Structure 1
Amino acid sequence: MLVTELRSALAGEVEDGSAARAMYAQDASNYRHVPLAVVFPRHADDLRTTVRLCHRHGVPITMRGAGTSIAGQALGQGVVVDCSRHLNRILEIDPERRIARVQPGVVLDRLREAAAGHGLTFGPDPSTHSRCTIGGMIGNDACGSHSVAWGRTADNVLALDVLTADGTPLTIDPALPDDGGRGSELAARLRELVDGNLALLRQGFPALPRRVSGYALDALLPENGGNVARALVGTEGTCVLLTEATVRLVPAPAARVLVVAGYADDVAAADAVPHVLPLGPLTVEGMGADLLETLTATGRRPAALDRLPEGDGWLFVEVGGSDPAGALGSAEKLAADLREHTGASIMIATDPAEQKQLWSVREAAAGIATRMPDGSEAWPGWEDAAVPPERLGSYLRGFRDLLARYGLRGFPYGHFGEGCVHVRIDFALTRPEGVARFRDFLRDAADLVVRHGGSLSGEHGDGQARAELLPRMYPPEIIALFEAFKAIWDPQDLLNPGNLVRPRALDADLRFAGPRRELPVTLRYPQDGGSLATATRRCVGVGKCIDASTGVMCPSYMATGEEQHSTRGRARLLFEMMRGEVITDGWRSAEVHEALDLCLACKGCLSDCPVNVDMAAYKAEFLHQHYRGRVRPVSHYSLGYLPLWARLASAGPRLTNAVLGSRLAPLVKRLGGIAAEREVPRFAPATFRRAFRRHRAPGGDRPSVVLWPDTFTNFFAPEVGVAAVRVLEHAGFRVRLPRGPVCCGLTWISTGQLDVARGVLRRSLRALAPDLAEGTPVVGLEPSCLAALRHDAHDLLGPAELDGVDEHALTLAEFLDRHAPDVEWPALDARAITQQHCHQHAVLGRAADDRLLRRIGVDNRTLDSGCCGLAGNFGVERGHYDVSVAAANRRLVPEVTAAEADTLVLADGFSCRTQIGELTGRGSLHLAQVLDRALAASR
């Protein structure tokens, strides 16, 4: 009944299907609550109507921003309201008054970008700044790394436009309006609450910069201006619903310098914090070596880590100035002081790009800390306690002792300048005894932080995770005042019930509890104990995949903006499929199939996701199981079997090309499930293998190297292979091809035909076995094929079958960088832009490519363009063309179109070169062709 009324009354969307309910059943916490429906209000009137209808039906309502809440505040069993889709406008920037008016769904970074044009910024900046919303920040009183300088969200909110639980609109500026109506009534009740409890309110709250737990009722005191707006910040959607906010903007330093100070460990770093604070830093962040060990265990080692000064614990201290020289002078003065008085080892980063790389390590911590170096899982729960900064070292010692006493592991890090510590702990939440230990540990941890004069939460709020523990921090009289304050605003307890007041148990509703189906799987999931269910738990909801501004992940979300097309949304659906309650039909699920249909299998999530979710592998598994014993889409036969059709076409390439260029082409595309808008690539007149057989190799003075003749190079772009042979022979190597036909099986993997892929891989590895056994390097020219060998093959085959592949299968740049560092290369002296293949980005990296390009004098810029959008078979399949082109048009096409005519366009991937050519009319080159050009120019 309610959902029907909402649909008829709202301009925005109302979704109550199993897919929406599954995706919104979790946030970034340990908890799970399946909502009745999800509402996306189009404007404030929609939100008011939603509140009034929920009030009439007695249905709870929960506001949700980016869904990154770690304590469970973004979950509800009634109606969940997501403002990020439509209520996301910046209404005003007033640089004179230094204020901004925004709707609740505005993403923090969009506000900061708009303010930056006036030399201003919004001070609070949590690590999720690229996707968290202002509404969510107000709900949780978010802080971030710069609160040392600019305070919490509560310190930067000037006025709120809100709705009460019955839908009454109010403007709180910062006091309630004296309107003779609801505003006056609420103001009178709040005055009564304050006047009757002055002594309690003045003495019952600990004084520390990061006290976020509980309601900030002391903001209502006369000496604090009776600031109702400030008291409502951090109420976690339990008192009012936000429709608009007026926030303070602060001058942004013109220049910033990062000082990294190294200490013996994180505790020693914490002990140094009281000495740092009087020096006027903008931020003081801390972390230990154990966190970095986790980072490097789950992926490639970021180059920025090699710049860290000596130590096993670090403080990241940022200082600002009106110009670079002034900022550097302040940094050098601070560095000298820390060396002298705290014994720190020091490095100073002035380059903004280097600073960004260093900060990215800290910002990724919320994700990487969810896995231990050995791959075991870690969870939030005791996520962000805060103590006075001068007691932080003592607290950390006690906390590490407490972990040891419980036999638990966790890696503290966080906002050391304000005594706030983040940590994920390896609670065994999938087992009853682990849940019992979880509860006991949290009670003891709460007592530890209270003994240090701290707050249970210093940033993320209480939610279900900590609200039950509030009586350990506050006396019963304060807890009673919290209940009274909530009742003034929401007497029916409809706004986010179970949080803060009369809370749900901290060990109830855990998302790990409940049923789990043992669906058959065919991939090995070597990093997840062979379990897809464990693999889907990798997604902890931090939401980096919904940052549409940068990176490879997630191109379909960047194109559509819909949760089901994000890595997180797909992971949630797979999780619920394995659970079997909301998504009930297992591998036959239409909801999961729809969400995965627009997954480009680009593997961007494998590297860009902080916890290395591999949605491309999960999609392959799903398609394999979904179509087991059933007729597949025709594109799976046409494009999935491309290596076979290419081999057949090579017997008569001219005839094949004539058909593809004739009036029969539309019929061929329709029969093959190919998008009508696509140009089908033409087959080369002669294959690379045939050209190589006619080639007379010169004698080289170096060992042999095997060149992998992938399908795309062999049948479509043999000129790339020919160029690679010339380059390798110039370096003195004797080039040979594998003894038999080889294929990585990628086209079968991407279409979910995993049994075929496994067989193809085994046959190829048998052909390579003698070379690998001898330690002969194998050079791959197509990044996706090489990535399949180095990564996907581990999901399909056992370690013994892949002996030598990871070590000896290399890109052309990796091979030359490793085996021919002394080769002289002629200078090309050119400018270039590079579209990096997404599989290379995710699996292989391109550090060697960059070094090689510098050696030949190419001034190269690798584009932050993400996936080209073609992505192998994806962009060729019928129904995917619009998303494919939208992904390319986001950055790639404008960059290539704007490049000067003499700027080289580099793209090692055949898909990338095809997409660039089709959408821009511009040719692009493989690295082998660029090196070959340099050789030709010197002849």
Structure 2
Amino acid sequence: MDLQRRLVETVSGDVGFDAATRALFTMDASNYRQVPVAVVRPDTVDDVVAAVTAAREFDVPVVPRGGGTSLAGNATGGGLVLDLTRLDRMEIDPPTRTAYVEPGVVLDDLKAAAAPHGLTFGPDPSTHSRCTLGGMIGNNSCGSHSVAWGTTLDNVVSLDVLRYDGTRMTVGAGDLPPELATLVDENLAVLRRELGRFGRQVSGYPLHRLLPENGRDLAKALVGTEGTCVTVLGARVRLVPLPAEKVLLVLGFADDVAAADAVPAILPHGPLTVESMDERIVALRALRNPEPPPALPEGGAWLFVEVDGTEAARTIAAAVDVPHAVFTEASRQRELWRLREEGSGISTRMADGAEAWPGWEDTAVPPERLGAYLRDLRALLAEHDLRGIPYGHFGEGCVHIRIDFDLVHAAGVARFRAFLEAGADLVVRHGGTLSGEHGDGQVRAELLPRMYSPAVMRLFARFKAFWDPGNRMNPGMVVEPYRVDENLRFVPLMPTRTAFTYPHDDGDFGQAARRCVGVAKCRNHSGSVMCPSFQVTGEEKHSTRGRARLLYEMLAGEVITDGWRSTEVRDALDLCLSCKGCRSDCPVNVDMATYKAEFLHHHYRRRVRPASHYSMGWLPLWLRVASRMPALANRTMASPRLSKLLKRLGGIAPQRDLPSVAPEPFTTWLRGNPGTGGEPVVLWPDTFTNFFSPSVGVAAVKVLRAAGFDPVLPAKSVCCGLTWVSTGQLTVARGVMRRTLKVLAPHKDLPIVGLEPSCLSALTEDLPNLTGEKLNAFTLAGFLEAHAPQWTPPRVEREAITQVHCHQHATLGFTPEAKLMERAGVRNSRLPAGCCGLAGNFGFEREHYAVSQALAEQTLLPAIREAAPDTVVIADGFSCRTQVAQGSARRAVHLAEVLAEGL
């Protein structure tokens, strides 16, 4: 009997030996890659026991894994990967201020469950929306609040664990097994001297927690062992009271070294957090996100200091005496913390496009040594001709930095090793630790002898041998480690000729796929725009990270071997809505909509495509024909028998109503209602406005004329090519775009106003990427802000809720719309970021209807049902308005229509 058969017989969860599943788990958020033998996703604790039993029977290593956000490579391995994210049971016990959690519980879910009791879990890594408690226990994660509440280790009460030999134990403080008691009693001096010197000393095993004065706490000694000793089945953790009044003080400094030098003056005042931010990260974020970054006090670096109460903020501000700002509103605080939390992703690409990588990601020194350490780190980077942007948990002396290592070529890898060795010696000279929160993994374990004496290294080996004498638990980490330059993720990739030009990736599709560094912000269930299908299915392959992994493995050719014809990649991309949410929400700006279009272009080259690619992919052409006989077209679509036939032939969901064609296209109306003067501006006649919603175009004309402009049309029909792009028909799309550019040539000096966000996004993003040409295009509000800032809009005085189109959120931004509505007296509430679920052709396709509706029911439709009858529903996207119309009794309108009503 082989391992696969045994697992299938004994595990009720998913057992994956297939190429797609194995490819999804080759990497975490580090520089390392290993192909697992198989992946098991247990549904129960009994499944975990059964999986480990099978692994032992066939002598296969076990690699426990949570959210896969480790930066040290300790969540990758060539054995049996246990994806424990489905084990998410938890119980809150308010009287004892504790909680029991299974390893798959996501930190934000625990915090949300504890909050009604006035409690929280103290440690909070920047990945709090997707990291699991099991992973936090494995790495001894810390986060920004460790200044006040310590590391994960400090907040673990007891652990339920499983050894590789099948033994289950509950461990905590108290008596030790005789072997471990002997280990401690014979080495009291060395344990006291070398371990536990300061809070962020995470490297190695925390054996000092076995000392008598520390309660001989076996649970705490197992925290941070990175899955090398046991598999955690559950944990009782400590909860702490929530602060009465969270206040965020932001202090401005000349640079990061000056900020570091100020930390010792802040700590005596009892801050909850002291986090740093660098101006270069803020600048990078501004380059890559359509929404402006939050305003900060004057400075080149900042400390974000969270305190309990405004009095504490004033006290610290007076003690430091630098430019500062105090933020008491929760929304403003969230905006600033979001900027800080995305630092690790943002800093993976330099301003000049150079790639930067983890590897020296979370060293830590005593806070009083931090400024001196940063000065020496600058010198070391310059010595090795490397660049990086330091930031991080300055209150605990912990520094995050992504460095522009060349990990592709042999010379660059040699420099990587040389820098790590010199860096390790530098940290030790400052009394610090190689790891301040992410564990040692593959990137630091080899360097531990530079930090610890041979005696301590022998103790680590003895401790592991007690739990795992055969070295089958996550081998290659901490004890008997891999080399730092072994198992690097940068393998040779399949050469490709692409349709898109990928200007931000040097024209290299492999480099584009390599953008994903695994921080997994896309594994978010909180209703963000990015990765709507993951929010429904919870499956890794439906996250941006999962799809990027599969594309990378397709190019690597080791696990996924059939290149562009890969069914594994096709199936993972099938539920991608091409919403472009990742284009802005992903900290490294992975653009999965573009990658999907590229893949479909190659996958279906000279092959028959899905029916929807012909029906909805060629929609502009069909609508042009239908507009010549709209009454006949509408009677046909309204006929139950003919409509059913059309849907079946076109791959359209039978539950969908087909939109009616307007009696008169918008272009016909405008040519019959010419302007009487004003500054000319091209009003883009997109397919949806022109043939489905001409009233939107009419409203926009009224608004533009009221603002002193004369909207004009291109001399001939034009199209942005969106529907061909979204279905991967890129040769046709490029031809359509080039024809459009020729038609627009006489208007090359005029700005373009677009009314449909998806079409406008295609003009500003896809058209340059396919043709190399750029257009000067705006949303209506964006145009008025730029070209008519003095214009006073009509007073509307309405309550409104707004569904922002995904493409507008991702590529255009919503700030001008928000400002315009405020000036018009529209009291607007923007719906929490989330996709409407229709997403152009996606929600109309037969096989996607259920996912489409599930997404609509997450945020959009419930909000509309709860809105007061006189609240106007604003949705500039035709897809969004269609989803509202077909899922509720309400009608959504375009912002242009709201403003025109005021006129």
TM-score (norm 2): 0.99
Asked if 1 retains the 8 angstrom alpha-carbon contact of 2:148 and 2:272, the reply is yes
Letter in 1 for 2:303: L
Seq. identity, %: 59
SS of the aligned residue for 1:879 comes to helix
SS of the aligned residue for 1:848 comes to helix
Alignment match of 1:879 (pick from 832, 847, 852): 847
Going from structure 1 to structure 2, the CA distance change for 1:502 and 1:160 (only over 3 Å counts) comes to same
Provide the C-alpha distance between the structure 2 equivalents of 1:294 and 1:410, rounded to a whole number of angstroms: 13
Give 1:696 deviation, angstroms: 3.9
Provide the C-alpha distance between the structure 1 equivalents of 2:363 and 2:824, rounded to a whole number of angstroms: 52
Provide the C-alpha distance between the structure 2 equivalents of 1:189 and 1:225, rounded to a whole number of angstroms: 17
Provide the C-alpha distance between the structure 1 equivalents of 2:802 and 2:680, rounded to a whole number of angstroms: 29
Asked if 1 retains the 8 angstrom alpha-carbon contact of 2:265 and 2:319, the reply is no
Question: Match of 2:699?
Answer: 723
Letter in 2 for 1:789: L
Q: Please show how residues 835-914 of structure 1 align to structure 2 within 5 Å.
A: 835-914=803-882
Q: Please show how residues 90-169 of structure 1 align to structure 2 within 5 Å.
A: 90=90, 92-169=91-168
Question: Match of 2:738?
Answer: 762
Letter in 2 for 1:120: L
Asked if 1 retains the 8 angstrom alpha-carbon contact of 2:282 and 2:293, the reply is no
Provide the C-alpha distance between the structure 1 equivalents of 2:809 and 2:247, rounded to a whole number of angstroms: 29
Question: Match of 1:792?
Answer: 766
Give 1:436 deviation, angstroms: 0.2
Alignment match of 2:310 (pick from 316, 325, 328): 328
| Per-residue Cα deviation, 1:627-658 (whole angstroms, up to 9, x for no partner) | 11111111111111100000000110110110
Q: Please show how residues 253-402 of structure 1 align to structure 2 within 5 Å.
A: 253-300=243-290, 302-304=292-294, 307-320=295-308, 327-339=309-321, 344-402=322-380
Provide the C-alpha distance between the structure 1 equivalents of 2:195 and 2:241, rounded to a whole number of angstroms: 31
Provide the C-alpha distance between the structure 2 equivalents of 1:263 and 1:596, rounded to a whole number of angstroms: 45
Question: Match of 1:239?
Answer: 229
Letter in 2 for 1:712: F
Question: Match of 2:514?
Answer: 537
SS of the aligned residue for 2:522 comes to helix
Give 1:206 deviation, angstroms: 5.6
| Per-residue Cα deviation, 1:572-630 (whole angstroms, up to 9, x for no partner) | 00000011110100010000000001100000000000000000000000000001111
Question: Match of 1:681?
Answer: 659
Task: Establish whether residue 633 from structure 1 lines up as the match of residue 610 from structure 2.
Answer: yes
Give 1:698 deviation, angstroms: 3.0
SS of the aligned residue for 1:96 comes to helix
Provide the C-alpha distance between the structure 2 equivalents of 1:38 and 1:545, rounded to a whole number of angstroms: 21
Going from structure 1 to structure 2, the CA distance change for 1:918 and 1:693 (only over 3 Å counts) comes to same
Give 1:824 deviation, angstroms: 2.6
Question: Match of 1:183?
Answer: none
Letter in 2 for 1:201: L
Asked if 2 retains the 8 angstrom alpha-carbon contact of 1:526 and 1:794, the reply is no
Question: Match of 1:191?
Answer: 181
Letter in 2 for 1:782: E
Question: Match of 2:683?
Answer: 707
Question: Match of 1:324?
Answer: none
Asked if 1 retains the 8 angstrom alpha-carbon contact of 2:163 and 2:468, the reply is yes
Q: Could you tell me which runs of 5 or more consecutive residues in structure 1 were left unpaired when the two chains were aligned.
A: 177-185, 321-326
Alignment match of 1:831 (pick from 775, 792, 799): 799
| Per-residue Cα deviation, 1:461-506 (whole angstroms, up to 9, x for no partner) | 0001100000000001110110000000001111101000000111
Question: Match of 2:757?
Answer: 783
Letter in 2 for 1:39: V
Letter in 2 for 1:319: V
SS of the aligned residue for 1:533 comes to helix
Asked if 1 retains the 8 angstrom alpha-carbon contact of 2:356 and 2:404, the reply is yes
Provide the C-alpha distance between the structure 1 equivalents of 2:50 and 2:803, rounded to a whole number of angstroms: 47
Letter in 1 for 2:866: A
Q: Could you tell me which runs of 5 or more consecutive residues in structure 2 were left unpaired when the two chains were aligned.
A: none
Asked if 1 retains the 8 angstrom alpha-carbon contact of 2:793 and 2:820, the reply is no
Letter in 2 for 1:623: L
| Per-residue Cα deviation, 1:865-900 (whole angstroms, up to 9, x for no partner) | 411111011111120101111111111111111111
Provide the C-alpha distance between the structure 2 equivalents of 1:300 and 1:782, rounded to a whole number of angstroms: 17
Provide the C-alpha distance between the structure 1 equivalents of 2:42 and 2:202, rounded to a whole number of angstroms: 29
What is the aligned length?
901
Asked if 2 retains the 8 angstrom alpha-carbon contact of 1:49 and 1:167, the reply is no
Provide the C-alpha distance between the structure 2 equivalents of 1:510 and 1:364, rounded to a whole number of angstroms: 24
Give 1:822 deviation, angstroms: 1.9
Provide the C-alpha distance between the structure 2 equivalents of 1:666 and 1:814, rounded to a whole number of angstroms: 41
Question: Match of 1:182?
Answer: none
Letter in 2 for 1:116: A
Asked if 1 retains the 8 angstrom alpha-carbon contact of 2:796 and 2:825, the reply is yes
Asked if 2 retains the 8 angstrom alpha-carbon contact of 1:175 and 1:229, the reply is no
Question: Match of 1:221?
Answer: 211
Task: Establish whether residue 584 from structure 1 lines up as the match of residue 561 from structure 2.
Answer: yes
Q: Which runs of 4+ in 1 moved over 6 A?
A: none
Asked if 1 retains the 8 angstrom alpha-carbon contact of 2:289 and 2:810, the reply is no
Task: Establish whether residue 23 from structure 1 lines up as the match of residue 24 from structure 2.
Answer: yes
Give 1:349 deviation, angstroms: 1.1
Asked if 1 retains the 8 angstrom alpha-carbon contact of 2:286 and 2:293, the reply is no
Going from structure 1 to structure 2, the CA distance change for 1:686 and 1:300 (only over 3 Å counts) comes to closer
Over the residues paired in the alignment, what is the CA RMSD in angstroms?
Answer: 1.0
Asked if 1 retains the 8 angstrom alpha-carbon contact of 2:583 and 2:591, the reply is yes
Provide the C-alpha distance between the structure 2 equivalents of 1:516 and 1:747, rounded to a whole number of angstroms: 30
Give 1:225 deviation, angstroms: 0.9
SS of the aligned residue for 2:306 comes to strand
Does 426-435 or 40-49 show the bigger shift? Answer: 40-49
Q: Please show how residues 385-424 of structure 1 align to structure 2 within 5 Å.
A: 385-424=363-402
Provide the C-alpha distance between the structure 1 equivalents of 2:302 and 2:172, rounded to a whole number of angstroms: 42
| Per-residue Cα deviation, 1:670-729 (whole angstroms, up to 9, x for no partner) | 0111111111111011111111122142333xx111111000000010010011111111
Letter in 2 for 1:930: V
Letter in 1 for 2:691: F
Asked if 2 retains the 8 angstrom alpha-carbon contact of 1:32 and 1:509, the reply is yes
Question: Match of 2:88?
Answer: 88
Give 1:301 deviation, angstroms: 5.7
| Per-residue Cα deviation, 1:141-182 (whole angstroms, up to 9, x for no partner) | 000000000000000000101111112111113346xxxxxx
Going from structure 1 to structure 2, the CA distance change for 1:465 and 1:108 (only over 3 Å counts) comes to same
Task: Establish whether residue 46 from structure 1 lines up as the match of residue 47 from structure 2.
Answer: yes
Letter in 2 for 1:550: G
Provide the C-alpha distance between the structure 1 equivalents of 2:473 and 2:178, rounded to a whole number of angstroms: 22
Provide the C-alpha distance between the structure 1 equivalents of 2:655 and 2:132, rounded to a whole number of angstroms: 38
Question: Match of 2:780?
Answer: 812
Asked if 2 retains the 8 angstrom alpha-carbon contact of 1:299 and 1:607, the reply is yes
| Per-residue Cα deviation, 1:235-293 (whole angstroms, up to 9, x for no partner) | 00111111110000000112111111111110010000000000110000112222223
Provide the C-alpha distance between the structure 2 equivalents of 1:145 and 1:502, rounded to a whole number of angstroms: 32
Q: Please show how residues 439-838 of structure 1 align to structure 2 within 5 Å.
A: 439-513=417-491, 515-662=492-639, 663-700=641-678, 703-772=679-748, 774=749, 776-798=750-772, 801-802=773-774, 805=775, 808-838=776-806
Letter in 1 for 2:892: S
Asked if 1 retains the 8 angstrom alpha-carbon contact of 2:527 and 2:858, the reply is no
Asked if 1 retains the 8 angstrom alpha-carbon contact of 2:527 and 2:535, the reply is no
Provide the C-alpha distance between the structure 1 equivalents of 2:101 and 2:298, rounded to a whole number of angstroms: 44
Give 1:921 deviation, angstroms: 2.4
Does 706-715 or 288-297 show the bigger shift? Answer: 288-297
Question: Match of 1:181?
Answer: none
